[in-house]
Amino acid sequence: MGLTVLDAGVIIAILDPSDVHHDAAAHAVASARQRGDLLVLPASAYAECLVSPYRRGPEAVAVVDAFVDALPARIEPASRAIARAAAELRARHAGRLRLPDALVVATALTLGADQVITTDAGWPALPVNVDVLGVRLLPRDR
């Protein structure tokens, strides 16, 4: 049993059957669940997942919450340690890692996650295993 951190794009893709990443995202999350991994959704990524649903109304927001609960995925708050790690990552990878992405990676690093699943193939090499919907990016030397 491991720990897998989910990026917002993964949840968004699973909930939208027309999303280009839908099938790959659903498969990656199903694989993590089959391994018995604990699934974690950083609070920052959870907020990203809710932006579009809030534009559509309370029913759309309820769908996201029901899905996250059913996974189940734990919402991880942004602690001081996560914020510091995100700031360091952002400073080190300026221009190649946006702050929302740095918060996801920092959550994984702080919690000692086994992997991060994302739809974003543009991330730089990072000190954590990143699964870009089936394309495994191994961490750089730690």
Nearest one of 133, 78, 68, 88 to 111, comparing CA atoms: 78
> Which of 3.40.50.300, 1.20.1260.10, 3.40.50.1010, 3.40.640.10 is the CATH number of 3-137?
3.40.50.1010
Residue 84 is predicted with a pLDDT of: 98
Q: Per-residue pLDDT averaged across 37-59, rounded?
A: 98
Please, which pLDDT band fits residue 141 given cuts at 50, 70 and 90? very low
- Exposed/middle/buried for 129, CB within 10 Å: 0-12, 13-18, 19+? middle
How far, in Å, are 18, 39, 92, 108 from residue 87 at the CA level? 34, 23, 9, 14
- What is the 3-class SS of the chain, one letter each residue? CCEEEECHHHHHHHHCCCCCCHHHHHHHHHHHHHCCCEEEEEHHHHHHHHHHHHHHCHHHHHHHHHHHHHCCEEEECCCHHHHHHHHHHHHHCCCCCCHHHHHHHHHHHHHCCCEEEECCCCCCCCCCCEEECCEEECCCCC
Q: Per-residue pLDDT averaged across 55-80, rounded?
A: 98
Mean pLDDT taken over the chain: 92
Give domain limits for the chain. Answer: 3-137
Residue 139 has pLDDT above 90, yes or no: no
Residue 9 has pLDDT above 80, yes or no: yes
Residue 138 is predicted with a pLDDT of: 53
Q: Per-residue pLDDT averaged across 102-117, rounded?
A: 97
Residue 135 has pLDDT above 90, yes or no: no
Q: Per-residue pLDDT averaged across 132-137, rounded?
A: 62
Q: Per-residue pLDDT averaged across 3-12, rounded?
A: 98
